[in-house]
Structure 1
Amino acid sequence: MGVKVLIVEDNPVARGFLSRVVRESFSDVSGIVEAGDLEAARHLLGHRAGQRASATPDGFKLVLVDLELPDGSGLELLSELAAYPATRIVTTLYSDDEHLFPALQCGADGYLLKEDRFEVLVEELQKIVRGQPPLSPAIARRLLTHFRQGDPAHGERGFQNSGFQTSGYQAPDFQHSRPAPIERQAPDHERLTPRENEVLTYLSKGFTIKEIANLMGIKWFTVNDHIKSIYKKLNVSSRAEAAVLASKQGLV
């Protein structure tokens, strides 16, 4: 029997993108079902809000969950899937600790950033077959940094208690490297375009990707492209870091 996949994502463009990633990752996909919100996902899984989803003969083997949905947080669904026999992967735009660690604590088996390249996402999803956790490169680096800092809240102990499966995962040899420091050198912010500065301003004020797109009258994936460019120019890896650095440099 092939693998049945559920994609919980409110943006149709992102759903299509993730569907292509899944089909490229596995040769035995029997079907991909899409849900645009929590209510639709629960209906497909056969349970109600606040209840635990139960296994069914023709149940899903892989569930991709966005964290920000129109009717709530994907964290709710992750908790409801605690006893459901499926691999649960977060697919999101957020790489900050405030989203990452709660997702792991709610039982996520992997954490992927939708802004990663198609081939990177395919390579990470294929790790499931080898019993390894799918982690975007930026997320893997963040977790390693927390392990080495010995943060009791977010470090190794918290990671182990989250239920995140690490069996078979072989960490790369970073013996001769050091985690990137939180405080970075002043960026060449003058290279930001006017559009990027506008996006950065909204990011610093706490607006979501969708809200920024609506305010600027552009598509969410265009905003995402601007954010990736901002990250590269400012040498940061999350919205929170970009906002803090922008504030310190007086950019907003």
Structure 2
Amino acid sequence: MTPSHALVVDDLASSREWLAQALGLAFPGIAIAFAGSLAEGLRSAHAPLAIIDLGLPDGSGVTLIERLHAAGTTCVVATVFDDDAHLFPALHAGAQGYVLKDQPTDTLAGMLRGIAEGRPPLSPSIARRLLRHFQPAPDASVPAIVLTARETEVLRLIAKGYTVPEVAEALALSRHTAAGYVKDIYRKLAVTSRAEATLEATRRGLVAPS
């Protein structure tokens, strides 16, 4: 979709000018209508594309997004708010893009130009926030491992390839005591060898990968 006209809804004249310039670069010759409030936006004629600020003086831009989206308008948010409390309600209401007011005009124009190719305009930080939101939560079925300070020292040496006698010498322990620590570590990690202990400890972040 290459829009022939667009609606810009923002109460700040400087923001309206910035958005108009970006729209002009993205879609040369586009006709632009302006609204400075939620009420004006609701009264505006239908446009195929609307750029909407969320913090309007008489209400939330989310209300306008809901109304325009239902009418078939492609709605893009342009705002200073980058938190989940603003992002997700706007997307739920039907916003098909979310850009922040912290970028050069030509950068915004490039994002808006993607609309014609089916690419939603998203600021990089917003795209990263969305990716994090949909990443799987840590597996709660893997129990946490709690090691004592001494066990952690022994584990780090094992991960470096130390044998039990070498661990004992390095930490000034008897071989019997060092072997006891190794046995306890194996039990906590549910492993039976130094190699397995190293792999499991690395997987759990107990030691740094070599």
Q: Which interval holds the TM-score relative to the shorter structure?
A: 0.5 to 0.7
Partners in 1 of 2:120 and 2:137 — Cα distance? 21
1:3-27 CA distance string (max 9 Å, x none): 1110000000110011000000112
Which TM-score applies when normalising by structure 1? 0.52
Aligned with residue 117 of structure 2, among 119, 127, 130: 130
Determine whether 1:23 maps to 2:24. Answer: yes
Aligned position for 1:42 = 42
Moved over 4 A (4+): none
Q: How far 1:28 moved relative to its partner?
A: 4.5
Q: How far 1:115 moved relative to its partner?
A: 1.2
Aligned with residue 121 of structure 1, among 97, 108, 115: 108
Aligned position for 1:68 = 55
Three-state SS of the structure 1 residue aligned to 2:120 is: coil
Give the AA of the match of 1:25: A
Q: How far 1:108 moved relative to its partner?
A: 0.3
Q: 1:21/1:149 Cα in 2 relative to 1: closer, same or farther (>3 Å)?
A: same
Q: How far 1:119 moved relative to its partner?
A: 2.1
Q: Which runs of structure 2 are paired with 1:164-179 in the superposition (5 Å)? A: none
Partners in 2 of 1:40 and 1:87 — Cα distance? 18
Give the AA of the match of 1:69: L
1:182-204 CA distance string (max 9 Å, x none): xxxxxxxxxxxxxxxxxxxxxxx
Q: Which runs of structure 2 are paired with 1:163-242 in the superposition (5 Å)? A: none
Give the AA of the match of 1:6: L
Partners in 2 of 1:119 and 1:149 — Cα distance? 35
User: Rg larger in 1 or in 2?
Assistant: 2
Aligned position for 2:95 = 108
Partners in 2 of 1:105 and 1:150 — Cα distance? 22
Aligned position for 2:32 = 32
Q: How far 1:120 moved relative to its partner?
A: 1.8
Q: How far 1:150 moved relative to its partner?
A: 4.6
- How many pairs align? 137
Identity %: 41
Partners in 2 of 1:107 and 1:114 — Cα distance? 20
**Where in structure 1 are there 5+ consecutive unaligned residues?**
46-58, 152-252
Partners in 2 of 1:7 and 1:140 — Cα distance? 23
Give the AA of the match of 2:106: E
